[in-house]
Chain A
Amino acid sequence: AQSVAQPEDQVKVAEGNPLTVKCTYSVSGNPYLFWYVQYPNRGLQFLLKYITGDNLVKGSYGFEAEFNKSQTSFHLKKPSALVSDSALYFCAVRDIVTGNTGKLIFGQGTTLQVKP
């Protein structure tokens, strides 16, 4: 079965420090991976996706993610965290087992807290 895991419920970093939010996946075939961010009382906003090609994917707001096939991971990173990055982050994988329906399978989410 396809699945996504975010092993950390919460990540705390100081402003200006690098941040990493972890994601691992389990799929059959090639993975199509996504990161979304949710600010308080808002909907999900798309950050970036990996489909194919370069393992380092750059996205919105200075975020990037590294696809690692051997470790089945897709960790979200940012070189220098901002207080405004504090939010709930979701990793997701495209469900391709049940046909090309576009469905996403989400991880449980990681709360990022950036302290001033």
Chain B
Amino acid sequence: NAGVTQTPKFQVLKTGQSMTLQCAQDMNHNSMYWYRQDPGMGLRLIYYSASEGTTDKGEVPNGYNVSRLNKREFSLRLESAAPSQTSVYFCASMSGAGSIEGTDTQYFGPGTRLTVL
């Protein structure tokens, strides 16, 4: 099992360019999440998908869009990149947001390091 995979690993964009970060999981998980990691701020949730066919905003959704393509894949799109979006982006998945008491564990991908010039 590969677990959670992310592509690309690194990306440099110019301000105003667009790109899509890809995420896939092979654990048959229902829920998927996109976080960004910035120094001294921990991880902040951008968007999530509690189940296939649904997406919702997290803490910092501005400037991003997402697509839950199918159960395996959850992509994050930057339509017009800005320097403030320079960050490390992590995708995570979890078996089921509907589980009793929300006790499931989230599993993370290796991250995408994005620089916007």
Contact = CB atoms under 8 A, between A and B. Distances in A.
B43 A90 contact: yes
A90 B98 contact: no
A63 to B, nearest CB: 15
A74 to B, nearest CB: 15
Q: Which interface class (under 10, 10 to 19, 20 to 34, 35 or more) fits A?
A: 20 to 34
B48 A101 contact: yes
Q: Which interface class (under 10, 10 to 19, 20 to 34, 35 or more) fits B?
A: 20 to 34
A104 B106 contact: yes
Interface string B52-68: 00001010000000000
Interface of B: 4, 31, 33, 35, 40-45, 48, 50, 56, 58, 90, 92, 94, 96-99, 101-111
8 interchain residue pairs of minimum CB distance? A106-B42, A102-B97, A43-B108, A44-B108, A108-B42, A106-B43, A43-B110, A51-B103
